């Protein structure tokens, strides 16, 4: 009987002491290894949900929105835990010229998630997200580009990394959300509209600079398969979100005559940006075929794959908004097709995430047990 008592104590100890300790260690390890672009999941899930909502697939949209509403605070907790427990690791990412731009994924996630709230008539919380994001964006935009200028070198400079793209996407996401919540800002409405136009112009300008540098890098410097990461798809997503932002400005009645006078310019630039987004899709598919079919690099789950899902979803929403702004129905059909492609990509990537998380969890738990 003593042996039985000891065995019961052993089971109790495992269930209520050892397993919680191992799980806490797993969470600690997860927060330590957290990549700055982790909110790309929220960006991708949010934009696919928004695309489904706009195409009247409300149940599917609601399911993804609820998942995002759960994932957002969970990722925020992990990020805060990382900042509190491992400030050195966070600072190391902030001063890394290849990682610092990834922090813009949080701002872009706020913009996309806030857009989903606005679609559902929840404007107060969306306004709070926008106001929270603005000062973070202002600090991060100058810090990141200052770091890129003063700490970069010829060895580190590699525009194909795509870091700038997160800064562009974050800037345009603030322009989109700002246009949606401007009517809720009362006496500040006019100032918000001016700021929204400035943000759109800044994002479009940064995109023009980036595409010029990227084109030079692709055409005149040798490219290896490892250079063509899924994040490169955001070059299309940045053009698509700039198109979306411009279309929102065209669909919004401006309180300023001077801003209304910009409409022909915004209309022309927005159409060109949509053309750029469309141009990149076949080229990026060709890159993927060359990397995985010709050079035979294996395709496996990576968090960077959300960098493909988000641009596809954004292209769908941007095409729909542009079809409304230009009163051109054929673009709506293209938007619907892109929505289903983005949804299929989301399902595949989410299954990869679930499998990788399960595998890593049990591998870590067994390792801790030994």
pLDDT in tens, the chain (370 residues): 455 545 545 665 555 556 666 767 777 777 888 888 899 999 999 999 999 999 999 999 999 999 999 999 999 999 999 999 999 999 999 988 888 899 999 999 999 999 999 999 999 999 999 999 999 999 999 999 888 888 766 555 566 666 778 999 999 999 999 999 998 888 888 899 999 999 999 999 999 988 888 888 888 888 888 888 888 898 999 999 999 999 999 988 777 777 788 889 999 999 999 999 999 999 999 999 999 999 988 888 888 899 999 999 999 999 999 999 988 888 999 999 999 999 999 999 999 999 988 887 777 666 654 4
Q: What is the CA radius of gyration of the chain?
A: 22
Picking from 341, 327, 291, 339, the residue whose alpha carbon sits closest to that of residue 56 is 339
Nearest-angstrom CA–CA distance, 309 and 206: 22
Residue 121 CB neighbour total at 10 angstroms: 7
Residue 350, by phi and psi: left (phi above 0), alpha (psi -120 to 50) or beta? Answer: alpha
Nearest-angstrom CA–CA distance, 353 and 359: 10
Tokens of residue 241, six digits = 């979100």
The answer to whether the CB of 255 falls within 8 A of the CB of 194 is no
- Long-range (24+ apart) CB contacts under 8 A made by 186-189 are 189/255
Where does residue 135 rank: exposed (0-12), middle (13-18), buried (19+ CB within 10 A)?
exposed
Picking from 171, 168, 196, the residue whose alpha carbon sits closest to that of residue 181 is 196
Query: What does residue 274 show for φ and ψ, rounded to 5 degrees?
Result: -65, -40
Task: Say how many CA atoms lie within 13 Å of 117 toward its Cβ.
Answer: 22
The answer to whether the CB of 284 falls within 8 A of the CB of 236 is yes
SS (H, E, C) the chain: CHHHHHHHHHHHHHHHHHHHHHHHHHHHHHHHCCCCCCCHHHHHHHHHHHHHHHCCCHHHHHHHHHHHHHHHHHHHHHHHHHHHHCHHHHHHHHCCCCCHHHHHHHHHHHHHHHHHHHHCCCHHHHHHHHHHHHHHHHHHHHHHHHHHHHCCCCCCCCHHHCHHHHHHHHHHHHHHHHHHHHHHHHHHHHHHHHHHHHHHHHHHHHHHHHHHHHHHHHHHCCCCHHHCCHHHHHHHHHHHHHHHHHHHHHHCCCCCHHHHCCHHHHHHHHHHHHHHHHHHHHHHHHHHHHHHHHCCCCCCCCHHHHHHHHHHHHHHHHHHHHHHHHCCCHHHHHHHHHHHHHHHHHHHHHHHHHHHHHHHHHHHHHHHHC
- pLDDT recorded at residue 370: 41
Nearest-angstrom CA–CA distance, 105 and 241: 14
Nearest-angstrom CA–CA distance, 249 and 304: 30
Picking from 269, 166, 146, 267, the residue whose alpha carbon sits closest to that of residue 210 is 166
Tokens of residue 115, six digits = 């857009």
Give Cβ neighbours of residue 85 (< 8 Å, ≥ 6 apart).
28, 31, 32
């Amino acid at each position: 009987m003593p042996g039985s008592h000891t065995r019961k104590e052993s089971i109790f100890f495992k269930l209520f002491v050892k397993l919680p300790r191992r799980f806490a260690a797993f969470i600690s390890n997860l927060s330590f290894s957290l990549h700055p672009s982790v909110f790309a999941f929220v960006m991708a899930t949010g934009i696919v949900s928004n695309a489904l909502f706009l195409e009247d697939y409300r149940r599917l949209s609601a399911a993804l929105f609820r998942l995002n509403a759960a994932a957002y605070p969970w990722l925020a907790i992990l990020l805060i835990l990382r900042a509190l427990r491992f400030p050195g690791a966070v600072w190391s990412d902030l001063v890394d010229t290849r990682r610092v731009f990834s922090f813009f994924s949080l701002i872009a996630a706020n913009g996309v998630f806030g857009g989903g709230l606005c679609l559902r008539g929840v404007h107060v919380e969306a306004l709070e997200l926008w106001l929270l994001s603005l000062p973070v964006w202002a600090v991060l935009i100058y810090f990141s580009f200052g770091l890129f200028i003063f700490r970069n070198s010829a060895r580190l400079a590699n525009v194909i990394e795509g870091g700038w793209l997160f800064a562009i996407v974050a800037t345009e996401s603030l322009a989109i959300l700002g246009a949606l919540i401007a009517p809720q800002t009362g006496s500040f409405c006019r100032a918000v509209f001016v700021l929204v136009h400035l943000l759109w112009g800044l994002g479009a300008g940064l995109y023009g600079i980036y595409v010029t540098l990227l084109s030079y890098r692709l055409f005149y410097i040798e490219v290896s398969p490892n250079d063509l990461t899924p994040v490169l798809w955001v070059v299309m997503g940045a053009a698509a979100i700039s198109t979306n932002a411009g279309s929102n400005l065209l669909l919004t009645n401006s309180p300023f005559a001077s801003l209304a006078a910009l409409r022909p310019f915004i209309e022309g630039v927005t159409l060109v940006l949509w053309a750029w987004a469309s141009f990149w899709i076949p080229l990026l598919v060709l890159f993927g075929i060359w990397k995985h079919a010709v050079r035979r690099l294996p395709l496996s789950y990576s968090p960077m794959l959300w960098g493909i899902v988000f641009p596809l979803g954004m292209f769908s929403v941007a095409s729909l908004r542009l079809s409304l702004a230009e009163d051109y129905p054929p673009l709506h059909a293209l938007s619907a097709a892109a929505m289903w492609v983005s949804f299929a990509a989301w399902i595949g990537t989410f299954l990869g995430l679930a499998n990788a998380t399960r595998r890593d969890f049990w591998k870590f738990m067994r390792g801790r047990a030994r």
